Amino acid sequence: MEKYIIAVDMDGTLLNSENRISVRTRNVLQRLIDEGHYVVPATGRTRELIPQEFSVLHGVKWGIVENGCVVWDYDKNEMIWRKTMPKGMVSRILQDVKESGIQGWIAEAYANGIAYSDADAGDFVASVADKNILEKTFVDYFLCRHEFVKDFYNQTELLDQAEKVNIYFDNLDNSRALREKWKNLDDVAVTTSVSGNAEFNAAGVDKGVGLAMLRTKLGIDRMHVIAFGDNENDLEMLEGAGIGVAMGNSKQYVKDAADQVTGDNDHDGVAEFLEKFFDL
């Protein structure tokens, strides 16, 4: 039997609108793991912020996290690949947002697998939740398993260790403007995964790069890689897989980049495709 890598994005893909993995989807993934395939979380989150529901799957050996900045070995509990942001870059980006005069934003930085943010960030998240600007699933995510640091935006030593920084705005236009401003720099890459955010990591690093490194390590041919995603930060992964599958809830440009389209994340789109493909 040929082994496959099955790389699955989390938010908007494996997770439904209630931030849960359905029993059907979980059972399908467990069966494939038991049959010898590699089910790999491929997410913009840190490994610490992958939902607890995913941990009930037994036999997950690898993770592609932080948009490909880190490839994680679960058996050895260590990174086999890590790419940090250029020194001083996170501080420079945050300073740029401060000097722009934009109101209504917060940031988080991922460093060594931990998500850090400012001690006052919770107040902002609560306020935008009250205004229904960001989805409840995001609010739950942000208030869970973060390290909240006093004077976070001036913690240069911490920020210089970051693999990735996320900036969340309460105005979508501000997110688009920031991504547009920074998109052509040689040493940094910017993308988005949820409404109102801008995600920065080192240039040349994305989920597709992380996936390529993992399949090379495992000796898996590209044509035996299936990748599922729904948003801009999944594009390189979908294009780099033998079979790139867009969710039914994806924007049209994501569907156009994929080889196939499955059902949406509230109707077991991942399970639906895998059941048919593997004749389960």
Sheet hosting strand 197-202, strand order edge to edge: 147-149, 114-118, 105-111, 164-169, 197-202, 188-191
Does residue 174 contact residue 102 with C-beta atoms inside 8 Å? yes
Top-confidence residue, 195 or 208: 208
Work out the angle at residue 165's Cα, subtended by the Cα atoms of residues 122 and 182, and round it to the nearest 5 degrees: 125
Q: Is the dihedral of CA 105, 170, 179, 101 positive or negative?
A: negative
pLDDT at 122 over 90: no
Average pLDDT score over residue span 131-150: 74
pTM of the predicted model, to two decimals? 0.88
What DSSP element (H or E) covers 228? Answer: strand 225-229
In which residue are the tokens 């849960």 written? Answer: 20
Average pLDDT score over residue span 183-192: 89
What DSSP element (H or E) covers 116? Answer: strand 114-118
Give me the pLDDT at residue 129, please: 59
